[in-house]
A and B are shown apart, each in its own frame.
Chain A
């Protein structure tokens, strides 16, 4: 099966049939990838969130993971409740995809259920053993904390602040960066942006990339110089800088119709990265 011979109708039919599991899995991905934002596609994907046939060796639900991701991209409000239900799924990766999709749908109904997943991880101002640990034999923490925290930041969940703050000290760097990103979005305090700026000097390329994307997502304009100086691909730096540029453009200028000096500076740096 290739992209060329799949149509929205065919993909929906493939998703609804029961015989070929591989075809369903591919169809769910395809509908998201090509943004087939129709009622039929959304209905079929919501139905796929409750699939019991497609099981991974680890007991997970691959089709549900793809369907959740696709629903995030299609932007229909009525996927919010079914996705919230997925936060209770036994499969970690279904919960992660659902949290990411709920972030994209940007609907405040998701705030309380997402916060609930953080409660067992936090005791006062500290992380609990559960919050820092991993399930036996698994490569991931108990809950998809990075996705949950980033979603809460995007959803502007100010009441989640005390739950998120302890994650700044999480042993997995990407989770800690996610917390810094969300804390910045919720408080606009520079100290949280600076945590990510420091992370740009980390030893591992993967982590520098992650910090770059986080800085771009929050549009922390003071990080422009640090971004252009970090060791990473220019393509990624440019994407991050675009986030900064957009946030600088949104700032008010003294003269109407003039370009904010910060935006000019960011563009000069971007020019040199091309």
Chain B
């Protein structure tokens, strides 16, 4: 509860304490601290990145969730490597979801399409993950990537995304994953 109050204060001075809380083995407190850091936004990115190497896996997972929630472009490479290689499925899950929320508007215009393509290629890998929850997160990320492609008028990747989602909606081992892919297809088609 103390953490909830601190998180709600939305003060940059709370950042070091909130970061510390991510390392405690207390999921309730970590959820509150993560939300607090996400709400603080960009300002939380640099201090989190500075400490990342010293973190235990639990804390890394929460930090990745913060990066994923804020969607800062500085975290892109971290998210890509975590999404594809981390041994913890909760880290892969959070990083994958985050790839769909990266804010690209701060990039030079000529870098936007290549970055979107890089994200798409990564999601084509995570969509083959052995864990259903990572495949599920990949679908959500692809759906969000479609929004970003439309926003920058880079529609050329959308047919490939639709193709990937169609495949999952028919062939995934998990009925839940299939259904999420169906939902994503419905949303993408509605918006076209």
User: Pick the contact of B140 from A232, A249, A271 — CB < 8 Å?
Assistant: A271
On whether the beta carbons of A259 and B133 are closer than 8 Å, the reply is no
- Name the CB-closest residue of B to A209: B27
Chain A interface size, as a band, is 10 to 19
Q: Which residues of B contact A259 (CB under 8 A)?
A: 179, 182-183, 186
A198 to chain B minimum Cβ distance, whole angstroms, is 18
User: Pick the contact of A242 from B90, B96, B132 — CB < 8 Å?
Assistant: B132
- Name the CB-closest residue of B to A234: B90
Which positions 139-192 of chain B face chain A at CB distance < 8 Å? 140, 174-176, 179-180, 182-183, 186
On whether the beta carbons of A249 and B132 are closer than 8 Å, the reply is no
Q: Which residues of A contact B90 (CB under 8 A)?
A: 233-235
B93 at the binding interface (Cβ < 8 Å): yes
Q: Which residues of A contact B179 (CB under 8 A)?
A: 245, 249, 259, 263, 267
User: Is chain A's binding surface mostly helix, strand, loop or mixed?
Assistant: helix
B31 at the binding interface (Cβ < 8 Å): yes
> Can you list, as one digit per residue, whether each of A244-273 has a CB less than 8 Å from chain B (1) or not (0)?
011001000000000100011001001100
Give bound CA distance, A267 to B90, whole Å: 18
On whether the beta carbons of B186 and A235 are closer than 8 Å, the reply is no
A205 at the binding interface (Cβ < 8 Å): yes
Give bound CA distance, A232 to B28, whole Å: 6
User: Is chain B's binding surface mostly helix, strand, loop or mixed?
Assistant: helix
B76 at the binding interface (Cβ < 8 Å): no
B89 at the binding interface (Cβ < 8 Å): yes
On whether the beta carbons of B140 and A231 are closer than 8 Å, the reply is no
User: Pick the contact of B180 from A205, A231, A267 — CB < 8 Å?
Assistant: A267
A48 at the binding interface (Cβ < 8 Å): no
Given A238-B133, A242-B176, A246-B176, A233-B27 contact (CB < 8 Å): yes
A56 at the binding interface (Cβ < 8 Å): no
- Name the CB-closest residue of A to B180: A267
Given A245-B176, A246-B175, A274-B93, A235-B133 contact (CB < 8 Å): yes
On whether the beta carbons of B137 and A274 are closer than 8 Å, the reply is yes
- Name the CB-closest residue of B to A232: B27
Q: Which residues of A contact B67 (CB under 8 A)?
A: none
On whether the beta carbons of A274 and B27 are closer than 8 Å, the reply is no
Give bound CA distance, A123 to B151, whole Å: 68
A204 to chain B minimum Cβ distance, whole angstroms, is 11
B136 at the binding interface (Cβ < 8 Å): yes
Give bound CA distance, A234 to B31, whole Å: 9
User: Pick the contact of A267 from B94, B132, B175, B183 — CB < 8 Å?
Assistant: B183
B61 to chain A minimum Cβ distance, whole angstroms, is 9
Q: Which residues of A contact B97 (CB under 8 A)?
A: 271, 274
A215 to chain B minimum Cβ distance, whole angstroms, is 15
B183 to chain A minimum Cβ distance, whole angstroms, is 6
Q: Which residues of A contact B96 (CB under 8 A)?
A: 274
Give bound CA distance, A270 to B177, whole Å: 11
- Name the CB-closest residue of B to A250: B175
- Name the CB-closest residue of B to A231: B28
Kindly list the 4 A-B residue pairs having the minimum CB-CB distance in the complex, ordered from nearest: A231-B28, A274-B97, A245-B176, A233-B27
List the interface of chain A (C-beta within 8 A of B): 205, 231-235, 238-239, 242, 245-246, 249, 259, 263-264, 267, 270-271, 274
User: What are 18 A-B residue pairs whose CB atoms fall within 8 Å in the complex?
Assistant: A205-B28, A231-B27, A231-B28, A231-B31, A232-B27, A235-B93, A238-B93, A238-B133, A242-B132, A245-B176, A259-B186, A267-B179, A270-B136, A270-B180, A271-B97, A274-B94, A274-B97, A274-B137
